Amino acid sequence: MTVSRALSRDELVNLATGAGVLGTGGGTHPYLELLAVQRLYDQGFHAELTSPEALDDDAQIAVVGLMGAPLVTKERLPDPEHVLRPVRVMEAFVQRKFDAVMSIEIGSENSMLPLMISAVAGIPAVDADTMGRAFPEAQMASFAIRDLPLTPFAMSDIRDNDLVITRTEDALWTERIGRRVCTELGSIVATCSAPRTGREVKDHAILGSVSRATRLGRAVIAARERHEWPIEAVLSTERGVHLFRGKVSDVVRRTTGGFVRGEARIEGVDQFAGQVFAVEFQNEFSLGRHDGVVRVTVPDLICILDSLTGTALGTETIRYGQRVDVLSLPAHPIMTSEPGLRRVGPRAFGYDVDFVSVHPLPE
């Protein structure tokens, strides 16, 4: 029997704030998604959260997320019925109802999708995800790293197009085919990947990630209310490392192939005066160079925050003149394992460098 509890409105705000930080540039603060969930609460609905440990081993869990370029998601208000559609398509395909729902990634807007579905479908959201952050591609997930298939893979656009990729050679092919379809459908689709059992979630997902984001967001908001430095709240809550402080001096950005790609250049201030930090991105920030030397790479989290408020900045919103701090938070051990680095290390993003971390690696 799955045991769940209702999430309060304050928890929604905390979760959205923390998920923005964990988004590592992908979509920034999920403000529009937060508004969508709050509107459901105003209409008498509510979202429920359950721990992974409370799931029956044979429970069926929907794994949901938006696929596409973050910039495109800001052009249209989120629609709970839209994000629910691929879940219903998958239920019809496998001929079984889902018992719970979880996000493919806790970072940014995808963190809020299970709450929309929980509210309108009456099933609990699971306190877990498959990335512990945000990544740009579907195969960059713990289930794929553990060699579980992503197919069947359901996709729904904002019109009336629903489809299921029934089988692919591997998770990378699911991403490649899905990304091509996504681009044709306007670079944004709601997705539901292969159903997972409760046992698979407990064994292979990144557990407690919703609670983590909520705790992080609560710390940032509390620091603002006490007129303390929110950057320090992030660093202390997440065992983070401060990398740089400066002013954004240039941003090169383009939307192509269903991704936002580019680079942000930051000129140092205070103790970093005369230095430069450059961050490359593909939906999310993926590699940082300090005066030309690689300082940090995926899968560690690269977070660029507003220096005053601690608000997470995204690859589509970062702009000239912003005063920012650059932080690194440690990746989950699944991501820094040997099979994890094959999926989400810098070489998986096309960089000719090995994983560079500023954090102690787990023994």
Read off the CATH number of the domain in which 192 is found. 3.40.1610.10
Indicate whether 193 belongs to any domain. Answer: yes
Let me know: does 135 contact 284? Beta carbons within 8 Å. yes
- Domain finish residue from 141, 175, 209: 209
180 and 242: one domain? no
Domain that holds residue 186: 4-209
Runs of H (alpha helix) within the chain: 9-22, 31-42, 70-73, 80-94, 113-121, 142-145, 171-184, 198-204, 209-225, 230-238, 333-336, 338-344
* Residue partners of 8: CB distance under 8 A and separation at least 6: none
Counting residues of the chain whose pLDDT is more than 70, the rounded percentage is 97
pLDDT tens per residue, the chain (363 residues)? 568 999 999 999 999 999 999 999 986 679 999 999 999 999 999 999 999 999 999 999 999 999 987 667 677 778 999 999 999 999 999 999 999 999 999 998 999 999 999 999 999 999 999 999 999 999 999 999 999 999 999 999 999 999 999 999 999 999 999 999 999 998 899 999 999 999 999 999 999 999 999 999 999 999 999 999 999 999 999 999 999 999 999 999 987 766 788 999 999 999 999 999 999 999 899 999 999 999 999 999 999 999 999 999 999 889 999 999 999 999 999 999 999 999 999 999 999 999 999 998 765
Indicate whether 67 belongs to any domain. Answer: yes
Let me know: does 243 contact 358? Beta carbons within 8 Å. yes
301 and 345: one domain? yes
Question: How many structural domains comprise the chain?
Answer: 2
Give which of 339, 343, 332 is closest to 206, Cα–Cα.
Answer: 332
11 and 87: one domain? yes
The pTM for the full model equals: 0.94
Report the amino acid identity of residue 210: V
Indicate whether 362 belongs to any domain. Answer: no
Q: What does the alpha-carbon distance between residue 113 and residue 54 come to, in Å, rounded to a whole number?
A: 21
Angle formed by the axes of helices 80-94 and 113-121, nearest 10°: 70
- Domain finish residue from 209, 239, 271: 209
